Structure 1
Amino acid sequence: MTPVSDEAPVRRPVRVPARFRHLLAAEWIKLRSVRSTYWVLGVGALTVIGINVNSAVSNADRLARQTLLPPERPGFPDRPEFLFDPLTTAFVDPAWQLFMIIAGTVGAMAVFGEYSSGLIRTTFAAVPDRQAVIAAKVTVMAAVMSALGMVVSGTSFGVTQMLLRAEGVLSLGDPGALRAVAAAALLAPLSALAGMAAGAVVRHAAGSVVTVVAVLLLVPALFQGERYRWVKEIGNAMPLSAWERLVTNPERAHDLGRYPLTVAEAWIVYGAWATAAVAVAVLVVRRRDV
């Protein structure tokens, strides 16, 4: 006879597959639990806005002095309107280049941080579907950076135009204004996705940051010549060149030089880079060992 046991049978817990919303929640916790994220994004956003505001103050002061002095005085051209663009004042190149590096670095940290700490092994052990994990990372990072980009871009535009109100300011309804604000806002998620791709490929902190700087800033600088069209076309395919085209005042489109990007082509560059960055991150993480 088989002895009867008084103990109840042991039930093993049923493993419930992680849903995508669970992955989103996990990635959000990872992002906000790192204190450096708040400092980097907060200080970076304030710095970008501060540079643009300083540009507006400087331009307002210069234009005020021009109205008080004879136009023929040295240093004050006869036609100062060709030297001042209220739209450009809100989108100063160094400020937004810095913003690109900050966003790209945070995006890279979201990937290489898990590899360097070893947390990625735990993540893939709990969720073997690597593609879903990367998709959740991309979604969270794109959402956070889009929100930050809208705040920084909208604040920069609003504050600079307020400071220049005596000189004739722009509103979002003016030609090119809304496009410029949107392009500057989307520059943050685009750079962050490029950083994620760099982090997935390099997997080291210093190497990932150097790659971000090289891809987003140095490579475009190497292909700015207009002597050969193929050189300029390569430069036009970079996110920085697309951003510069999109924030250009339509009244100054004739100053873009030879072989300029069209507005439609610039938006295509944005979309192509975002798509390529996500594809690289997913492909690399799926195929390479942890």
Structure 2
Amino acid sequence: MSAPVTGRATAPRATVGAGAPPPVRFGDLVAAEWIKIRSLRSTPWLLGLVVLVAVGAAGLVSLADYDAIPRRGPESPWEPTFALHDAFPPEGYLMLMLAAASLGAIAVVSEYGSGLIRTTTVAVPARGSVLLAKAAVQFLLWTAVGAVTVTGSYLLSWSILDGRDAGIAVTAPGAPTALAASVLLGPVCALVGLGLGALIRHAATTVLTGVLVLLILPTVILPANNRSTVGLNHTLVLSAWQRLTRTWGAPSAVDHYASYAGSWAVYALWPLVAVALALVVVRRRDV
């Protein structure tokens, strides 16, 4: 006679061995990528130089206008948009764009060049998670750098121009948009550079491509005053930043300036597309 069944049979539970490592969390990946960036001796020097150049450019441009304002006549009155130009001069923020794109690219390219990427993929087979962690670090780092740069350049410009009652308040029309666009300019360019780095995987070629797409195309190849190329020009990051900061003065209908909504869309689409393409590539391409 068989023994009576005293309870329901249950399937054996799978147990994790005592020596099995815990799963890698995304926060751990972000911390690891931050250590990599911080360990580069050039990183603090590069970031410090970017802030110094952008803030210094704002100070020099503001001083020049401080001296020129008394000589302005009724035919060329001072406009608030001129103060925005002085606070966010292209001469300084082009440097920020170049540095952000280059550091974003180096975050990926340096691992492929040194062979460290093999160690990384062995430790974390989820390549997409590693790339997203790099993107998160670049976004947070350059947002912080952008906030410091924008605060410094705006306050310095305002303190100089206020001596002529020509400064522009933070709450003035257009100022909040210009501040936000300038803070986010670095993160946008860094993620574009990171995406290009994952696609190209060669340091010099990646940096040159970033310079071409972010700096040369909008100013040389696709000038905004050319009606045949104005539409293409408005799809580029530099043109979107210029529109959001209004660094050229008040727009007119004849010049076919892009809308604020379209410029914000450019800000969003460039990094999203760059990172999305990079995710596809890193998952399908061998190390």
TM-score, normalized by the shorter chain, greater than 0.5: yes
1:70-89 paired onto structure 2 within 5 Å: 77-82=73-78, 85-89=82-86
Query: What is residue 69 of structure 1 aligned with on the other side?
Result: none
Q: 2:247 & 2:225 partners in 1: Cα distance?
A: 21
SS at match of 1:47: helix
Q: 2:222 & 2:46 partners in 1: Cα distance?
A: 30
Query: What is residue 28 of structure 1 aligned with on the other side?
Result: 34
Query: What is residue 250 of structure 2 aligned with on the other side?
Result: 252
Compared CA separation, residues 220 and 250, structure 1 to 2 (3 A):
closer
Query: What is residue 47 of structure 2 aligned with on the other side?
Result: 41
- RMSD after superposition: 1.9
1:35-74 paired onto structure 2 within 5 Å: 35-64=41-70, 66=71
Q: 1:172 & 1:226 partners in 2: Cα distance?
A: 30
Query: What is residue 278 of structure 1 aligned with on the other side?
Result: 275
Query: What is residue 194 of structure 1 aligned with on the other side?
Result: 192
Residue 218 of structure 1, CA deviation? 1.3
In structure 2, give the amino acid aligned to 1:157: Y
Q: 1:54 & 1:236 partners in 2: Cα distance?
A: 29
TM-score of the superposed pair, with normalisation by structure 2: 0.88
Q: 1:116 & 1:251 partners in 2: Cα distance?
A: 45
Q: 2:121 & 2:162 partners in 1: Cα distance?
A: 54
Structure 1 residue runs of 4 or more that deviate by more than 4 Å after TM superposition: none
Aligned equivalent of 1:115, options 112, 126, 142: 112
Residue 251 of structure 1, CA deviation? 7.2
Query: What is residue 263 of structure 1 aligned with on the other side?
Result: 260
Q: 1:134-160, CA deviations, whole angstroms, 9 ceiling, x for partnerless residues?
A: 111111110010011011012111110
Query: What is residue 7 of structure 2 aligned with on the other side?
Result: none
1:238-249 paired onto structure 2 within 5 Å: 238-248=236-246
Structure 1 residues without counterparts, runs of 5 or longer: 1-10, 67-75
Residue 224 of structure 1, CA deviation? 1.7
Q: 1:38-91, CA deviations, whole angstroms, 9 ceiling, x for partnerless residues?
A: 111111211111111111111112224x2xxxxxxxxx5443325781111111
Q: 2:257 & 2:128 partners in 1: Cα distance?
A: 37
Residue 167 of structure 1, CA deviation? 2.2
Residue 267 of structure 1, CA deviation? 0.4
Compared CA separation, residues 214 and 249, structure 1 to 2 (3 A):
closer
- Tell me the number of residue pairs that the alignment of Structure 1 and Structure 2 aligns: 268
Compared CA separation, residues 151 and 280, structure 1 to 2 (3 A):
same
1:75-154 paired onto structure 2 within 5 Å: 77-82=73-78, 85-154=82-151
In structure 2, give the amino acid aligned to 1:81: P
In structure 2, give the amino acid aligned to 1:284: V
In structure 2, give the amino acid aligned to 1:214: L
Contact 1:175 1:250 in 2 (8 A): no
In structure 2, give the amino acid aligned to 1:48: A
Q: 1:105 & 1:251 partners in 2: Cα distance?
A: 30
Structure 2 residues without counterparts, runs of 5 or longer: 1-16
Q: Given the alignment of the two structures, is residue 19 of structure 1 paired with residue 6 of structure 2, yes or no?
A: no
Q: 1:281 & 1:188 partners in 2: Cα distance?
A: 19
Q: 1:172-191, CA deviations, whole angstroms, 9 ceiling, x for partnerless residues?
A: 11000111011011000000
SS at match of 1:13: coil
Comparing 37-46 with 120-129, greater Cα deviation is found at: 37-46
Q: Given the alignment of the two structures, is residue 167 of structure 1 paired with residue 164 of structure 2, yes or no?
A: yes
SS at match of 2:77: helix
Query: What is residue 13 of structure 2 aligned with on the other side?
Result: none
In structure 1, give the amino acid aligned to 2:92: A
